[in-house]
């Protein structure tokens, strides 16, 4: 796909992987709309990278049909949905509460699905579209303290495979990207970006991966790609 002029919606686009992805796509000539919960930060980032801001929370289910429609209208159509917004909580078995499950799944699974349903209506109507779900290596192998977060990403991986089976007949590519540890503000209560580390991935590596799978000729697609740090320490 030639990204020039393509209309892209990136959830969770005001920081980390979402911001880096939005920037690399804008630089490639795409028209990009980013979402985020904090309006002030979202507007600042959008102005910085040349994107369109639209404040909303993916876990606010009732608002999603209206917000999806606003996003499509602001873009003047829709070609690509990048489901990047995600949260996590990391507690040992014995410390986990139902509230943690509900909060994480509300963003990573339930809201993501409901938003995708709204956007897929447009993709089916135009008989083309591209969905990229940002999961995690936590969705391929569990780890200590990962019960809630890994469960949500395992769910996303399974849903992605279901959508691939359902939507290929409509020329809709559904792709999964699994980053390993990336130095972002993820799970940081202060939402401050962590400093880069030589042994860990940066957001730009994941953004490059997303751009690469989108740019493949539309006769083919990458169902799933996992990105690891070369030499973690």
Active site residues: 149
Please report, for residues 43, 201, 202, 203, the alpha-carbon distance to residue 208 in angstroms, rounded to integers and kept in the order given: 24, 12, 10, 9
Secondary structure element (H or E) that encloses residue 113, with its range = helix 112-126
CB-based burial, 186-223: b 16+ in 10 Å, e otherwise: beeeeeeeeeeeeebbbbebbbebbbebbeeeeeebee
Distance CA(216)–CA(221), nearest Å, equals 7
């Amino acid at each position: 796909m030639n990204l020039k002029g393509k209309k892209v919606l990136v959830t969770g686009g005001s920081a980390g992987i979402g911001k880096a992805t939005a920037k690399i796509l804008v630089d490639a000539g795409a028209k990009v709309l980013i979402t985020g919960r904090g309006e002030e930060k979202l507007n600042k980032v959008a102005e910085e990278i040349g994107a369109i801001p639209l404040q909303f929370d993916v876990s606010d289910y009732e608002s999603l049909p209206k917000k999806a429609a606003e996003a499509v209208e602001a873009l003047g159509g829709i070609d690509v949905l990048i489901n990047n917004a995600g949260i996590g909580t990391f507690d040992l078995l014995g410390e986990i509460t139902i509230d943690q499950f509900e909060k994480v799944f509300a963003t990573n699974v339930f809201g993501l699905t409901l938003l995708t349903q709204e956007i897929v209506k447009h993709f089916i109507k135009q008989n083309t579209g591209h969905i990229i779900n940002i999961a995690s290596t936590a969705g391929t192998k569990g780890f200590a303290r990962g019960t809630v977060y890994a469960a949500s990403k395992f769910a996303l991986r399974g849903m992605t495979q279901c959508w691939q089976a359902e939507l290929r007949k409509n020329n809709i590519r559904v792709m999964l990207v699994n980053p390993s540890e990336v130095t972002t503000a993820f799970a940081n209560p202060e939402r401050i970006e962590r400093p880069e580390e030589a042994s860990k991935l940066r957001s730009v590596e994941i953004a490059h991966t997303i751009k690469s799978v989108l740019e493949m000729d539309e006769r083919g697609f990458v169902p799933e790609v996992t990105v690891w740090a070369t030499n973690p320490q």
